[in-house]
């Protein structure tokens, strides 16, 4: 990586606003740009750094966009997986949208994503019981009944087999 503002190896001029928004890294080489974060695949040795990076980005995002208040991003957002994954996706979208190699229209797409994700977060936050302190969401899912699942899968297989037989019969009947 080159120093910020060193235009010898980076054709993109130094931009202090971008540094504040996205950190300092040269994004002219896509191999160096981080890919999307898929939280179920984050390795234990990477998790602390991933959490710190996401926290810093969320705090900066809230500073930049005042409408992202506690009604959209609760104080305990990191304890709600849907918030973590949506915010991570938005961060990853922003990185690629403002990369040196991104088309000029990409930032507008990011703002559309910001609008859409904000609506999701506001809805999800409204469903939470969190106020000044975190409250675990009540889980309304019940364990899957294995026999019920097996019957469903078997019925689906049988239905698909019957459809295949019907299609085969229709084709062979057309040839006669």
For the stretch 94-110, pLDDT in tens is 999 999 999 999 999 99
Percentage of the chain modeled with pLDDT above 70 = 73
Helix, strand, coil: what percent of the chain each, to 5? 60, 0, 40
pLDDT of residue 141: 65
Q: Mean per-residue pLDDT for 37-56?
A: 93
Contact yes or no for 73/62 (Cβ under 8 A): yes
pLDDT of residue 64: 96
pLDDT band at 131 (very low <50, low <70, confident <90, very high): low
pLDDT digits (tens, 9 = 90+) for 2-23: 444 444 444 555 566 666 555 5
Average pLDDT, rounded, for the chain: 81
Q: Mean per-residue pLDDT for 120-124?
A: 95
Cα angle 14, 1, 111; round to 5 = 55
pLDDT of residue 160: 85
Break the chain into its structural domains and give their ranges.
Answer: 34-126, 142-176
Min mean pLDDT across 30-34, 42-46, 103-107, 172-176 is at 172-176
């Amino acid at each position: 990586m080159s120093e910020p503002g060193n235009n010898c190896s980076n054709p993109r001029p130094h931009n202090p606003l971008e540094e504040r928004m996205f950190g300092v890294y040269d994004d002219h080489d896509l191999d160096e740009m981080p890919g999307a974060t898929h939280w179920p695949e984050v390795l234990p040795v990477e998790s602390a750094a991933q959490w710190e990076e996401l926290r810093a980005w969320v705090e900066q995002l809230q500073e930049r966009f005042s409408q992202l208040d506690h009604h959209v991003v609760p104080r305990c957002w990191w304890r709600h997986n849907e918030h973590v994954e949506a915010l991570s996706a938005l961060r990853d979208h922003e990185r690629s949208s403002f990369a040196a190699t991104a088309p000029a229209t990409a930032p507008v797409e990011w703002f559309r994503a910001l609008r859409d994700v904000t609506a999701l977060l506001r809805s999800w936050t409204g469903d939470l019981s969190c106020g000044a302190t975190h409250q675990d969401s009540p889980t309304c899912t019940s364990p899957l009944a294995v026999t019920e699942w097996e019957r469903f899968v078997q019925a689906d297989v049988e239905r698909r087999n019957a459809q295949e037989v019907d299609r085969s019969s229709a084709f062979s009947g057309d040839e006669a």
